[in-house]
Amino acid sequence: MPPELDRNRWHPPILEGQLVVLRRHRQENLATVARWYRDPELARLTRYQTRPMSREEIERFFQTRLMSPDALAYAVHERATDRLVGITTFSALDADNASTLYHITIGEPDAWGRGYGTEVTELMIEHAFERLALHRVGLSVFEFNTRAIRAYEKAGFRIEGRLREAIHRDGRYWDEIQMGVLEWEWQARREERARQPVQSAG
Ligand SMILES: CC(C)(COP(=O)(O)OP(=O)(O)OC[C@H]1O[C@@H](n2cnc3c(N)ncnc32)[C@H](O)[C@@H]1OP(=O)(O)O)[C@@H](O)C(=O)NCCC(=O)NCCS
């Protein structure tokens, strides 16, 4: 199969939800992504180091993890306005064990808590199991990031374990929580949802 057609199969240009649209990255996204990653609050929520990323680190991250033709990364756009609000990626794709690691950052704080993160996570899990035929998607998240844990649980992830007191933040130690979702439990959840009667509004 020609490389571009093959890429369209495992990395379609668009994944569409009700609230968000995921698109492959474009070079012009760099300025926005760089602005997010200079924010100390984003560093607090997502990074092992407490300092925000340097410009060089952000540019390297953008080119290798988001723009590279073999990176399975998407820009998250708000569906109603098409505004770029975040990024999501898989890393550590392990073909032998059919597993990968999931990452998401909604970089615009005014876009937090509107259901975008949950929907992005659902779209990416569906892609992993339906298109990529993976068996497992895992992630890690800091214990204090309760909004993220809630969004991941709503999308189907379960807590599997914790690295005790692995993160020092805000003057104390916190656990790093490992979460995962398996293909068969995601299928079962989907079938369960399909059996439930449609809720009528009001
Ligand atoms: C984590 C993140 C992806 C979640 O996406 P989101 O769009 O904000 O989350 P959603 O709106 O889909 O869901 C959040 C849920 O957590 C709840 N929530 C919000 N703030 C919360 C808080 N401080 N504590 C606990 N739950 C919280 C919301 O009420 C919602 O649950 P509900 O629908 O049952 O009410 C997003 O906030 C983000 O990217 N934050 C910054 C970077 C980050 O933390 N990335 C993850 C690193 S592992």
Q: What is the CATH number of the domain that holds 148?
A: 3.40.630.30
- Residue 200, domain member (yes or no): no
Give yes or no for residue 50 having a pLDDT over 90: no
- Residue 70, domain member (yes or no): yes
pLDDT band at 52 (very low <50, low <70, confident <90, very high): confident
Q: Verify whether ligand 1 is closer than 6 Å to residue 116 (CB atom).
A: yes
Nearest protein Cα to ligand 1, atom 7: 117
Measure 5 CA to ligand 1 centroid, in angstroms.
35
- Residue 202, domain member (yes or no): no
In this prediction the pTM is 0.95
> What's the rounded Cα separation, in Å, for the pair 172 and 19?
36
What's the domain range around 44? Answer: 3-195
Q: Domain total for the chain?
A: 1
Mapping DSSP to helix (H, G, I), strand (E, B) and coil, where does residue 156 land?
coil
- Residue 201, domain member (yes or no): no
User: What is the per-residue pLDDT for 131?
Assistant: 95
Tens of pLDDT along 10-23?
Answer: 999 999 999 999 99
> What's the rounded Cα separation, in Å, for the pair 2 and 68?
18
E-state strands within the chain: 14-16, 20-23, 73-78, 84-94, 99-106, 136-142, 158-169, 172-182
> What's the rounded Cα separation, in Å, for the pair 57 and 38?
11
- Residue 71, domain member (yes or no): yes
Mutation to probe ligand 1, out of 103, 147, 149, 179 (largest number of atoms < 8 A from CB): 147
> What's the rounded Cα separation, in Å, for the pair 43 and 25?
21
- Residue 182, domain member (yes or no): yes
- Residue 143, domain member (yes or no): yes
